[in-house]
Amino acid sequence: MTEYDVAVIGAGMAGLTAALNIKRLGKSVIVLEYETFGGQITHSPLVENYPCVTAASGSELTSTLFDQAEQLGAEFESDKVVKIIPDNAAFDVVCESGSYRAKAVILATGAKPRMLGLEREEELTGEGVSYCSLCDGAFYKNCPIAVVGGGNSALGEALNLASTASKVYLIHRGKEFRGEKIKADKLKSLPNVEILMETKVTELIGEDCLKGIKISSPDGERIISLDALFVSVGHEPCNSAFADVVGLDDKGYIIAGEDCLTTRKGIFAAGDCRTKKIRQLTTAAADGSVSAEAACAYIDNM
């Protein structure tokens, strides 16, 4: 079993930043990722809210960071972690294809946006279907769009998009919004916002890109022509494999504060997988730096 100072699980912005800083602090590190190196942001064609980067695709941004970490000596493996076994002053990280031993572990597994479960939804992601208005809203200036959801995130996205879109359809399956009344009232007052309650999206229309949606409500079915559908029905953290070694909250997020310390000594959490209020690239990068410092300090004080 190969041994490292730190094992980083997840290669999004948080995990890659952690790996970069771990190498700069003179430790060995293995980064384990079973999906996309770079994480969810690689699906965004344009990032404009990252400091000092005027505009870049998500894949360009994380590819540069990957290269930085690799050039410093960080090692990467494409494998899925199935469990972590504490063993004296170290941890055995068990994957589908092998195992690794590390003195400290950083969990940077992220959180996936909940999908609607519609046919071709994944295929049209990035081609009109989006899960982040901050990432993709600028592409649809003066265009008709729809937002699905009824919580504060959905209401906030609809408000942001209404300032630039020609028309915003806010679609919610419930009879009442779960979000703040003040936000809902503001949306109701906007002339370019149409609110559709007790309504579900049942079909995505379009071949290479989204052209419209079919909706269903007590009034029957209807087809709406639009250029983008923003899905805001929550996120799902990818932490189930670690429930027996670190504490999770009732939504499945790893209990850890700004210091990235979990309930288990030697295991740290960074990025969208942990309990936090703001989940953006900048906060993920910050967590990567903090968790790297914390993990290396833990090892030095063993």
End-to-end CA distance of the chain, in Å? 21
- The reply to whether 52 belongs to the active site is no
The string of DSSP codes covering the chain is -EEEEEEEE--SHHHHHHHHHHHHTT--EEEEESS-TT-GGGG-S-B--BTTBSSB-HHHHHHHHHHHHHHTT-EEEE--EEEEEEETTEEEEEESS-EEEEEEEEE---EEEPP---TTHHHHBTTTEES-HHHHGGGGTTSEEEEE--SHHHHHHHHHHHTT-SEEEEE-SSSS-SS-HHHHHHHHH-TTEEEE-S-EEEEEE-SSS--EEEEEETTEEEEEE-SEEEE-S-EEES-GGGTTTS-B-TTS-B---TT-B-SSTTEEE-GGGBS-S--SHHHHHHHHHHHHHHHHHHHHT-
Name 105's bridge partners: 7, 267
- The reply to whether 136 belongs to the active site is yes
User: Of 136, 227, 272, 287, which is the active-site residue?
Assistant: 136
User: Of 135, 238, 260, 296, which is the active-site residue?
Assistant: 135
Closest residue by Cα to residue 281 from 53, 123, 126, 81:
53
**DSSP label at residue 246:** S
User: Of 132, 238, 260, 273, which is the active-site residue?
Assistant: 132
> Which sequence positions are flagged as catalytic?
132, 135-136
